[in-house]
Amino acid sequence: MIAESAQRFEALEAQAQRLLASFTRAGYEHVAPSIIQPANMFLDVVGESLRARTYVFTDPGGDELCLRPDLTVPTCRLHLARHPQGAVPARYCYNGSAFRYQQGGDTSAHPREFRQAGVESFAAADREQADAEVLAIIVEAVRDAGIASFQLRFGDLGLFRALLGALSLPERWRRRLQHQFWRPDAFRAELNRLTSAAALRAPALKAEVIDRLDPDQPAGAQSEVEAYLERAGLTLLGTRTLPEITERLLAAAADARESPLPAATANAIESYVAVKAPARAAVRELNRLLRGHRIDLSEPLQAFQRRLDDLDTAGVITDEAEFSAEFGRNLEYYTGFVFEIVVPELGPKSPLAGGGRYDSLLAEVGAPVAVAAVGSCIHTERLLAALQGTAA
Amino acid sequence: MSEKLILALPSKGRLMEQCATALARAGLSVAKSGSVRGYRGEIAELPDVEVNFVSSSEIAHFLQQGTVHLGITGEDLVRETIPDCEARVSFLKRCGFGHADVVVAVPICWIDVGSMADLEETSLIYRRVHGRPIRVATKYMNLTRRFFAQRGVAGYRIVPSLGATEGAPAADLAEVIVDITTTGATLRANGLKVLSDGVILKSQANLIASKLASWSDGARQVKAAMLARLSCWDWEPSAPPQSKR
State whether residue B196 sits within 8 Å of chain A by CB.
Answer: no
Q: Give the residue from A240, A245, A250, A364 with the most B CB atoms within 10 Å of its CB, the best one to mutate.
A: A240
Contact A310, A135 (CB under 8 A): no
Q: pLDDT tens digits for A9-27?
A: 788 888 999 999 999 999 9
Average pLDDT of every residue of chain B: 89
**Which residues in chain A have Cβ-Cβ distances shorter than 8 Å to B159?**
none
Nearest to B157 among A43, A183, A239 (CB): A43
Residue of chain A with shortest Cα separation from B82: A103
**Range B195-205 average pLDDT:** 95
Contact A363, A371 (CB under 8 A): yes
* A154 sits in which H/E element: strand A151-156
pLDDT for residue A326: 86
Which residues of A fall below an 8 Å CB-CB distance to B?
43-44, 47-49, 51-52, 103, 175-176, 179-180, 183, 185-186, 189, 205-206, 209, 225, 228-229, 232, 234-241, 243-245, 247-249, 252, 332
Q: pLDDT tens digits for B217-233?
A: 999 999 999 999 888 77
Q: Across the strands, what pairs with B159?
A: B137
- CA–CA separation, A337 and A209 (whole Å): 43
Contact A378, A355 (CB under 8 A): no
**Which residues in chain B have Cβ-Cβ distances shorter than 8 Å to A43?**
157
Residues of chain A with pLDDT under 70: 1-6, 203-206, 329-332, 390-392
pLDDT for residue A330: 61
Contact A91, A29 (CB under 8 A): yes
**Which residues in chain B have Cβ-Cβ distances shorter than 8 Å to A64?**
none
pLDDT for residue B237: 52
**Buried/exposed B11-30: b ≥16 CB within 10 Å, e otherwise:** beeebbebbbebbeeeebeb
Minimal C-alpha gap between A87 and chain B (Å): 20
Report the candidate in B148, B160, B201 with the shortest Cα–Cα distance to residue A58: B160
Question: How is residue A125 annotated by DSSP?
Answer: S
- CA–CA separation, A141 and A125 (whole Å): 24
Strand-strand pairing, A151-156 and A64-67: unpaired
Nearest to A49 among B83, B121, B149 (CB): B149
Exposed, middle or buried by CB within 10 Å (0-12, 13-18, 19+), for B135?
buried
Residue A5 CB coordination number (10 Å): 9
**Buried/exposed A59-81: b ≥16 CB within 10 Å, e otherwise:** eeeeeebbbbbbbbbbbbbbbbe
Residue of chain B with shortest Cα separation from A251: B112
- CA–CA separation, A207 and B245 (whole Å): 25
Q: pLDDT tens digits for A209-263?
A: 888 888 888 888 999 999 999 999 999 999 999 999 999 999 888 988 889 999 9
Residue A368 CB coordination number (10 Å): 12
Dihedral, CA of residue A38, residue A39, residue A44 and residue A45, to nearest 10: 60
Handedness of CA A310, A316, A317, A320 (dihedral sign): negative
Report the candidate in B171, B177, B190 with the shortest Cα–Cα distance to residue B148: B177
Residue of chain B with shortest Cα separation from A172: B121
Contact A91, A25 (CB under 8 A): no
- Between helices A298-313 and A127-145, what is the axis angle to 10°? 30
Q: pLDDT tens digits for B30-89?
A: 988 876 566 899 999 999 999 999 999 899 999 999 999 999 999 999 999 998 888 999
- CA–CA separation, B88 and A328 (whole Å): 34
Nearest to B109 among A205, A229, A247 (CB): A229
- CA–CA separation, B178 and B136 (whole Å): 7
pLDDT for residue B235: 56
pTM of structure: 0.81
* Cα–Cα distances in angstroms (integers) from residue B18 to residues A227, A256, B24, B92, B96, in the given order: 48, 51, 10, 18, 10
CA atoms within 13 A on the CB side of B71: 32
Q: Indicate yes or no: CB of A47 within 8 angstroms of CB of B125.
A: no
3-state DSSP assignment of residue A45: helix
All residues at 6 or more sequence positions from A62 whose CB lies less than 8 Å from its CB, including other chains: none
State whether residue B130 sits within 8 Å of chain A by CB.
Answer: yes
3-state DSSP assignment of residue B21: helix
CA atoms within 13 A on the CB side of B94: 17
pLDDT for residue B212: 93
State yes or no: pLDDT of B243 exceeds 50: no
Q: pLDDT tens digits for B80-124?
A: 999 888 899 999 999 989 999 999 999 999 999 999 989 988 998
